Amino acid sequence: MKPYHPKTGIVYYSRTGHSRRMALKLSNLLNGSLVELKAPAYTAGFLSYLRAGFDSVRQHCVLGPQSFTSLTEYDRIVLCGPVWTSYPAVPLRALLRSDVDLPYTVAMFLTSGAHSPPHKAFTAGEADLTHRFVATACVANADEGGDEEAHIIKRFLRDLEDARASSYGT
């Protein structure tokens, strides 16, 4: 009997490239499909940086038009993006609050400039999702490409696999 490998979507938002790099890495490790969240209001530039921070603090989370209306074709999704003002980036929160259909199994992998501890971001994301993430992790931008990043990814993948195994009773 062939082992079951869940179909994984890596749904990411990246303003500066840190989260995109991490999403690509996770996609390769999980044999997942990349799904980019579009958020033109937050493209590169100082004014869009200010808008991103302002919208995050106000918790103004509106998802603009995307190339998808559902993500239920995946057995699980990994949301990947940055921490903004102690919260997941506005595009991630907007997705979680939207009427886009998601699979029940959702994990979150964040990147951070290390200004804010990630636990508040995970709590806010779970409140938006209305249930717990099956796995969470956060890599500081300063740890990119190093031993700490490798350790964090290894733990995240183990937690994700443990969640899958427990849901199938294996």
Q: What is the mean pLDDT of the chain?
A: 87
| Among the listed residues 75, 61, 67, the one whose alpha carbon sits nearest the alpha carbon of residue 106 | 75
> 């579009």: which residue's tokens?
38
The burial of 73, by beta-carbon neighbours within 10 Å (0-12 exposed, 13-18 middle, 19 or more buried), is given as exposed
| Among the listed residues 12, 10, 4, the one whose alpha carbon sits nearest the alpha carbon of residue 38 | 12
Specify the pTM: 0.88
* Residue 30's pLDDT band (cuts 50, 70, 90): very high
Residue 168: per-residue pLDDT: 55
Q: Structural domains in the chain? A: 8-167 (3.40.50.360)
Q: Which of 84-88, 89-93, 98-102 has the lowest mean pLDDT?
A: 84-88
Residue 52: per-residue pLDDT: 74
pLDDT tens digits for 98-150? 989 999 999 999 999 876 778 999 999 999 999 999 999 999 988 888 999 99
d(CA 46, CA 25): 28
